[in-house]
Amino acid sequence: MPLARPIVFGNWKMYGLRADSRARAEAVAGFVRADHGTVGIFPPFTVLREVVEVVGERPVVVGGQDCHDRPEGAFTGSISPVMLRDAGATAVIVGHSERRHGLGEDDAFIRRKAEAALAAGLLVVLCIGETEAEYLAGRRHEVLERQLEGSLPTAADGGRLVIAYEPVWAIGTGRTPTLEEIREIHGWLRQELARRRPGGSDIPLLYGGSVKPANAAGILAQPDVDGVLVGGASLDPEAFRAIYEAGDARR
Ligand code: 13P
């Protein structure tokens, strides 16, 4: 089933112990309306189960922030898509820049993770984005093309895959591309996905990188922006709520 727009996903990154994560999840589950968009939260693994329990039957997607490409094995420190499902998650982020650049994960590994997560029945949020040096050199489209070529799963469709465009230089910096740039790149991504996969134009496109209550309405109003992936502001339920409310229920 297609995800209702706007899609507002919160990546909690490596923040949250059990008590504050429970409170945060309760606050999010308390403001979500079944008739307005799709909300998801991506807590650290250690509190995933608690968040799943707090959310209960309420319409909040709960996902992992990463996964391995194998169902099980001798991979110390890793979590498999099957384990995420077993813990109650229904989604997973793969290819976040903090793993691509921070931990050296390459496109081929990210594609294998995405394929494995799809096979396990998870909704995949595949992140792509250029670094500041690549942006300044005018190489954005080339970098995104390469990331799509290398990491887009074969079976990509709009019901099970979401693409998040997150310029690395906009993450946690308070800087964002202009609305014009966001509009242009999302329009171009839509065409790229249509060209690469049957039904690819239905794959939801999120923008991520310093999304705040103050800029959310402008970003969510761009024609090919189906939602946002929020980092820092998702840790504050009131800010996250304001971002959710800023998006009109479209399409
Ligand atoms: P910030 O919203 O803190 O810039 O983080 C964005 C992000 O990385 C979401 O995955």
User: Mean pLDDT in the chain?
Assistant: 96
State residue 155's pLDDT score. Answer: 83
Q: Where are the beta strands (DSSP E) in 3-45?
A: 7-11, 38-42
3-state SS of the chain: helix, strand, coil percent to 5? 45, 15, 40
Q: Given ligand 1 and candidates 7, 230, 235, 243, which is best to mutate, with the most ligand atoms within 8 Å of its CB?
A: 230
Peptide bond preceding 167 in cis form (omega within 30 of 0): no
The SS3 of residue 152 is coil
Quick: pLDDT tens for 101-153: 889 999 999 999 999 999 999 999 999 999 999 999 999 999 999 999 999 99
Backbone angles phi, psi at 151, to 5 degrees: -120, -5
64 forms beta bridges with 92
State residue 251's pLDDT score. Answer: 44
Is there a catalytic annotation at residue 36?
no
Using a 6 Å cutoff on CB, does residue 209 contact ligand 1?
yes
**CB-CB contact of 177 with 167 (8 Å):** yes
State residue 102's pLDDT score. Answer: 85
Using a 6 Å cutoff on CB, does residue 232 contact ligand 1?
yes
7-250: CATH number: 3.20.20.70
pTM, two decimals, is: 0.97
Using a 6 Å cutoff on CB, does residue 66 contact ligand 1?
no
Q: Given ligand 1 and candidates 15, 96, 166, which is best to mutate, with the most ligand atoms within 8 Å of its CB?
A: 166
Quick: pLDDT tens for 56-92: 999 999 999 999 999 999 999 999 999 999 999 999 9
Backbone angles phi, psi at 79, to 5 degrees: -125, 135
- List the residue whose alpha carbon is closest to atom 1 of ligand 1: 231
Closest ligand 1 atom to the C-alpha of 211?
2
Residue-wise burial string across 214-226, b where 16 or more C-beta atoms lie within 10 A, e elsewhere = ebbeebbebebbb
Domain positions in the chain are 7-250
Query: Quick one: average pLDDT of 164-169?
Result: 98
Using a 6 Å cutoff on CB, does residue 129 contact ligand 1?
no
- pLDDT of residue 249 exceeding 70, the answer is no
- Nearby residues of 134 by Cβ (< 8 Å), 6 or more positions away: 140, 143
